[in-house]
A and B are shown apart, each in its own frame.
Chain A
Amino acid sequence: MPGSEHLIDALEARVERRHQRRDFFKTAIAGVAMGTAGLALAGRAEAQSAPSDTDILNFALNLEYLEAQFYSYAYSGEGLPAAQLTGTQTQGAVTGARKANLTDRAVIQYAREIAADEVAHVASLRQALTSAAVAQPAIDLSATIFTAAAVAAGVDLSASGGVFDPYANDDNFLIAAYIFEDVGVTAYKGGSPLLSNPDIVDAAAGILAAEAFHAGIIRGALYRRGVDVPAVWTITEQISGARDLLDGTAVSAGPPQRVADDDQGVTPVQNQFGLAANIVPTDENGIVFSRTAEQVHNIAYLTRQAATSGGFFPNGTNNPNAALRRSGAN
């Protein structure tokens, strides 16, 4: 049965990932305990372009524009108000988004609540940045882009005419949300050690936490659906695998430190207690992983190359710091 073969493959991939992570953390913990690795990483970060808190919040604001528009349109058919889109650099429009055909009352609630949170994040970041806030860049939320992402991930679209429409039904909406959610969490976590003002650290922690709640809710919903429809689990593995491919296979320069293959679908895993869910994409220490701004852009631009636009951001993200607008060469 092809379903169970997929499952076995996925389980084996997970075992391999655990091994890699274990090796990584042996090194990482030893380093931190000796006080050398942490210092070395911090030094390297400062030697680079040393983005300001404003740059990092603007980086986050681009992601929040993307998420807020996706959830707002999916829930209500309307996007952010015009007053929430202005700012420095080039303002762009949202294309291809629409109200999703949601029927499951739980999924409708998820969409409503997450939309409200993301809209609030945009407002919060804009308020913190005041006149330094960047405008919303052009955002492409069309089925074409989501289809490109799904095809790149190897998702079987034969039953839907080769198209992945994120607004078509509950399942597709959840899968589309899955594409975004973990990325936001890893981006905020990766950004956290680069922030300096404690008030901003505190606020960023609050937003990170909200994103992690969202991701937990979405992953939990996909997990439960996958019990009856294992293809759902397979798709999460495929998307995670694609993100892993996009964002590189090596430890990138400067914090955050990361492992080659850390993105994870929701397929169950075996742990010391028995068969367990995989709601939280963690390392051996139960800690969620990080991405650099470049790696986040690799995923948002849907490219492994160094680029300044693509995918969900056809004209690129906005940022006064060019280093926070580009993807990495992986």
Chain B
Amino acid sequence: MSDQTEFLDLMERAEHQRRARRNFIRLCGGAAAMTGGLALLSGCNDDDDGEPAPTVSPTPTPTVSDADVLNFALQLEYLEGNYYSYAVSGQGIAANLQTGAGAQGAVVTGSGDGAARAVTFTDPVVQQYAREIAFDELGHIGFLRANLGSAAVAQPAINLSGSASVTIAGATAVGAFTAAARAAGVIGATDIFDPFLNDENFLIGSYLLTDVGVTAYRGAARLISNKTFLEASAGILATECYHDGVIRSELWRRGLTVPSIYTRITQISNTRDGLDGSTENDQDIGDATTANLVPTNDGGLVLGRNAAQVLNVVYQNKAAVSSGGFFPAGLNGTIKTSQANA
């Protein structure tokens, strides 16, 4: 029947969605520990792939309060807010947005090549996207802080640099963007990745961060009990997805003339997937033949991460740790430890 064929074609045409489906089916096999509701809507009885279920040790879900979840989100916003603010203005977020409970830290910008600074945009459209996103992220920070009131956590130390060498609390480290790019194989082991260099690098840096923000809000939705916060959180999730949709489609468009973009994005995506455990919850943007602008599973649902998996990615560490990568002193609040992934 031709319309059924067309339906199957639509579903099959995207290699990435096929990959996601395989993984998803595996996930359905036993991992209630992952963002659970996926199972409800997306065909766990569909065993066409026949792959064995993974051995995922079910982690008991600790009870977290709405404030814990919002404070976790706030710190991801500090990271994104500073990134986009520096990119469009050469400055981080205002001092009065950094205070709060826990240890307040500074943004480590680094110096020279790779330093956090205003991007010299050549494409005004990309610059206008960046300004809008920067503004939205500041709005998110303000909103979350206003709602958390005195419970709002301070901005932790943030490694926002692409420099080869930065000093953090007296010790020497690599700029977090360069560390991430080296780990992904996007650059050589001694090269640097400077997200503030030009339009293209800025977009890749955005992909590094915004994709993670999406999965974090996506994964947190089920944890929020207050309905007012839930709706607000859904609104922030939506905003992050608009941002990511623009960033991913802009990267894809540029890949038509600079095909290495596709390769590099795939490397970053695979690396994040390697950090956050055996489940695949990260997707690249496809290639010139087939775009993959929306990171969804077989059910058309955007992929999510739990908080610990988000920390694996931002700490750039597959082990259970409480600091590293973009957050050299870890997070403030109660959600601060990544999960142990083999």
Contacts and interface: CB of A to CB of B under 8 A. Distances in A.
Interface of A: 29, 32-33, 37-38, 41-42, 72, 75-76, 78-84, 105-106, 109-110, 112-121, 123-125, 127-128, 185, 188-190, 192-193, 198-203, 205-217, 219-221, 223-224, 227, 255-256, 268-269, 271-280, 282-290
Nearest to B138: A286
B222 interface: yes
Contact of A189 (B128, B218, B234, B294): B234
Interface stretch (B40-48, B49-57, B108-116, B185-193): B40-48
B37 A223 contact: no
B293 to A, nearest CB: 6
A116 B230 contact: no
Given A203-B40, A288-B242, A80 B231 contact: no
Interface string B27-38: 000000001111
Top 7 A-B pairs, shortest CB-CB distance: A216-B245, A202-B37, A286-B139, A206-B301, A120-B300, A286-B136, A212-B241
A206 B249 contact: no
Contacts of B137: 286
Contact of B36 (A29, A202, A269, A274): A202
B106 interface: no
A220 B238 contact: no
A115 B293 CA distance: 13
Interface stretch (B140-148, B194-202, B264-272): B140-148
B237 interface: yes
A173 B166 CA distance: 49
Given A33-B149, A120-B300, A212-B238, A78 B11 contact: no
Given A203-B40, A280-B136, A288-B238, A210 B302 contact: yes
A21 B297 CA distance: 35
B336 interface: no
A279 B248 CA distance: 14
Interface stretch (B2-10, B176-184, B308-316, B320-328): B2-10
B131 A277 contact: yes
Contact of A285 (B142, B230, B234): B142
Given A117-B294, A207-B301, A288 B239 contact: yes
Contacts of A282: 136, 139, 235, 239
Contact of A78 (B6, B134, B135, B140): B6
Contacts of A200: 37, 40
A81 B147 contact: no
Nearest to A216: B245
Contacts, number: 301
Contact of B7 (A29, A119, A276): A119
19 contacts: A76-B10, A79-B3, A82-B1, A113-B292, A120-B299, A124-B301, A190-B231, A192-B221, A203-B38, A203-B301, A207-B300, A215-B245, A223-B128, A271-B135, A274-B88, A276-B131, A282-B139, A285-B139, A287-B239
Given A275-B128, A278-B132, A213 B293 contact: yes
Given A29-B147, A209-B241, A42 B227 contact: yes
Interface residues of B, number: 86
A290 B231 contact: yes
A209 B214 contact: yes
Contacts of A75: 10
B64 interface: no
A216 B243 contact: yes
Given A117-B294, A124-B300, 19 more contacts: A41-B228, A75-B10, A76-B6, A81-B4, A109-B252, A114-B294, A117-B300, A123-B43, A206-B218, A208-B241, A209-B218, A212-B245, A213-B294, A273-B131, A276-B128, A276-B135, A285-B142, A287-B139, A290-B231
Contacts of A220: 129, 245-246, 249-250
Interface of B: 1-4, 6-7, 9-11, 13-14, 17, 35-43, 88-89, 124-125, 127-129, 131-132, 134-140, 142-143, 146-147, 149, 214, 217-218, 221-222, 226-228, 230-232, 234-246, 248-250, 252-253, 256, 290-294, 296-304
Contact of A219 (B140, B242, B250): B242
B238 A185 contact: yes
A265 B332 CA distance: 38
Contacts of B6: 72, 76, 78, 81
Residue from B89, B218, B248, B302 with most neighbouring chain A CB atoms (10 Å): B302
Contacts of A275: 128, 131
B236 A123 contact: no
B212 to A, nearest CB: 13
Contacts of B214: 209
A82 B244 CA distance: 34
A255 B227 contact: yes
B10 A202 contact: no
B37 A198 contact: yes
